[in-house]
Amino acid sequence: MGIFDFLTGEFIDVIHWVDDTRDTLVWRFEREGHEIKYGAKLTVREGQSAVFVHEGQLADVFTPGLYMLETNNMPVMTTLQHWDHGFKSPFKSEIYYVNTTRFADLKWGTKNPIMARDPEFGPVRLRAYGTYAIRVVDPARFLTEIVGTDGEFTMDEISFQIRNIIVQEFSRVIAGSGIPVLDMAANTADLGKLVAAEISGTLAEYGLSMPELYIENISLPPAVEEAMDKRTSMGIVGDLGKYTQFSAAEAMTAAAQTPNSGMGAGMGMGMGMAMAQQMANPGPWGSRSAAQAPAQSAPAPQAAAAPPPPPPVEHVWHVAENGETKGPFSKAALGRMASGGELTRESYVWTAGQDGWKYAEDVPELAQLFTILPPPPPGA
| Residues 21 and 124 both lie in one domain | no
Which of the four pLDDT bands, split at 50, 70 and 90, describes residue 64? very high
Is residue 27 a part of any domain in this protein?
A: yes
CATH number at residue 171: 3.30.479.30
The residue from 98, 117, 133 where one domain ends is: 98
The residue from 52, 83, 98 where one domain ends is: 98
Distance between CA atoms of 94 and 56, rounded to whole angstroms? Answer: 9
Is residue 341 a part of any domain in this protein?
A: yes
| Residues 67 and 131 both lie in one domain | no
pLDDT of residue 75: 46
Considering only residues 343 and 302, tell me which one the structure prediction assigns the higher pLDDT: 343
| Residues 89 and 147 both lie in one domain | no
| Residues 61 and 29 both lie in one domain | yes
Which range of 49-53, 265-269, 312-316 scores highest in mean pLDDT? It is 49-53
206: Cβ contacts below 8 Å, ≥ 6 apart:
141, 142, 145, 146, 158
pLDDT of residue 275: 59
Find the range with the poorest average confidence among 175-189, 258-272, 304-318: 258-272
| Residues 80 and 165 both lie in one domain | no
Is residue 148 a part of any domain in this protein?
A: yes
Distance between CA atoms of 214 and 195, rounded to whole angstroms? Answer: 10
Distance between CA atoms of 281 and 287, rounded to whole angstroms? Answer: 8
Is residue 184 a part of any domain in this protein?
A: yes
Query: Which of 21, 13, 16 lies closest to 50 in space, CA to CA?
Result: 16
Distance between CA atoms of 218 and 343, rounded to whole angstroms? Answer: 87
Domain that holds residue 347: 317-371
Considering only residues 87 and 218, tell me which one the structure prediction assigns the higher pLDDT: 218
The residue from 207, 223, 239 where one domain ends is: 223
| Residues 48 and 119 both lie in one domain | no
CATH number at residue 361: 3.30.1490
Q: Can you name the residues that pair with 28 across neighbouring β-strands?
A: 96
| Residues 126 and 79 both lie in one domain | no
Average model confidence (pLDDT) for the chain?
76
Is residue 217 a part of any domain in this protein?
A: yes
Nearest 5°: phi and psi at 282? -60, 135
Is residue 290 a part of any domain in this protein?
A: no
| Residues 111 and 208 both lie in one domain | yes
Which range of 12-21, 229-238, 298-307 scores highest in mean pLDDT? It is 12-21
Residue 193 pLDDT more than 50? yes
pLDDT single digits (tens) 113-165: 888 888 888 888 898 999 999 999 999 999 988 888 888 899 988 899 999 99
pLDDT single digits (tens) 75-123: 444 444 444 434 455 567 788 999 999 999 999 999 888 888 888 888 8
| Residues 113 and 205 both lie in one domain | yes
pLDDT single digits (tens) 334-346: 888 888 888 888 8
Residue 194 pLDDT more than 60? yes
Is residue 355 a part of any domain in this protein?
A: yes
pLDDT of residue 259: 61
Count of structural domains within the chain: 3
240: Cβ contacts below 8 Å, ≥ 6 apart:
234
| Residues 89 and 127 both lie in one domain | no
Is residue 55 a part of any domain in this protein?
A: yes
Integer angstrom CA distances of residue 165 from 52, 108, 161, 295: 30, 10, 6, 78
